[in-house]
Chains A and B, each alone.
Chain A
């Protein structure tokens, strides 16, 4: 597997979690979600590809989408976390922390051996 493929898989695997985290404090519309993701991560490669993911998460019942008129010159579609989404997010956060912790321990152990060998 090339490094680019690995990075792409890592990015795709993290996007669902990142989107759910972005809407967990409160409802946000599409562009606000993208801007939040761009401020904290490098996960958004192309803005237009975030909307289909928001659509899928809505179809899966993890997000709820509502059009709001009158707030701006054009209507905005707001996404909020559903009860099922909140449960999935808790599960994903737990699993992510466990996973990241294990990989970090593995990296630390490998680096300790490298230093010892030098």
Chain B
């Protein structure tokens, strides 16, 4: 079947939507390769199909057998992002993979909540380590009636709250932040690896 201008526009529109969807989570060279392969598939199918009963119907049939562009993009995303997160363990890759799972499954949503809390706590510790040398009189262990009730920054200090703790808080908070960050990342990576195993097996 030789496509008319309308048919060409329909194919180009499909590829455009696919490319835009893939660009949100894949490197550009991988996107180009994927779109080129899907276009090759479409051209092959179009070339081997008769325009019966008419071009529009035949073309829509080919496109529906390929699947909507967003669904094809989702399939790439599912295969790619979790693999990347498990293989590299990188922060951005892990967050991206978990976000994608959170949008599609209930388990993924709970994993995302746990990841968010873990990273939030670790960043809070990093913030304490950074702020302590800048605001030494506002960052430290808070005491109420002589009992330690928390660790953090207070601007200004509330009445009745005493601040203790010296500069030892800096390495302590940095170590806690790092420990929680690494623990959260490793935990998420392990859960994603199990997820992938379940998907493959």
Contact = CB atoms under 8 A, between A and B. Distances in A.
B66 A16 contact: no
Contacts of B30: 55
A46 B63 CA distance: 10
A76 B40 contact: yes
Interface in A41-93: 46-49, 51-53, 55-56, 59, 67, 72-77
Interface string A92-106: 000000000000000
Contacts of A16: 200
Contacts of B75: 46, 48-49, 51-53
Interface residues of B, number: 26
A77 B37 contact: yes
Interface stretch (B43-51, B97-105, B106-114, B147-155): B43-51
Given A52-B78, A55-B34, A55-B76, A31 B66 contact: no
A54 to B, nearest CB: 8
Interface residues of A, number: 24
Interface of A: 12-13, 16, 29-31, 34, 46-49, 51-53, 55-56, 59, 67, 72-77
Contacts of B83: 56, 59
Q: Provide the main secondary structure of the chain B interface.
A: helix
Nearest to A46: B67
Given A55-B79, A59-B83, A48 B36 contact: no
B41 A73 contact: no
Q: Provide the main secondary structure of the chain A interface.
A: helix
Contacts of B65: 46-47
A72 B34 CA distance: 19
A3 B78 CA distance: 23
A30 B83 CA distance: 21
B39 A74 contact: yes
B38 A51 contact: yes
A72 B46 CA distance: 13
B54 interface: no
Given A59-B83, A73-B43, A48 B67 contact: yes
Given A12-B199, A74-B39, A77-B37, A49 B72 contact: yes
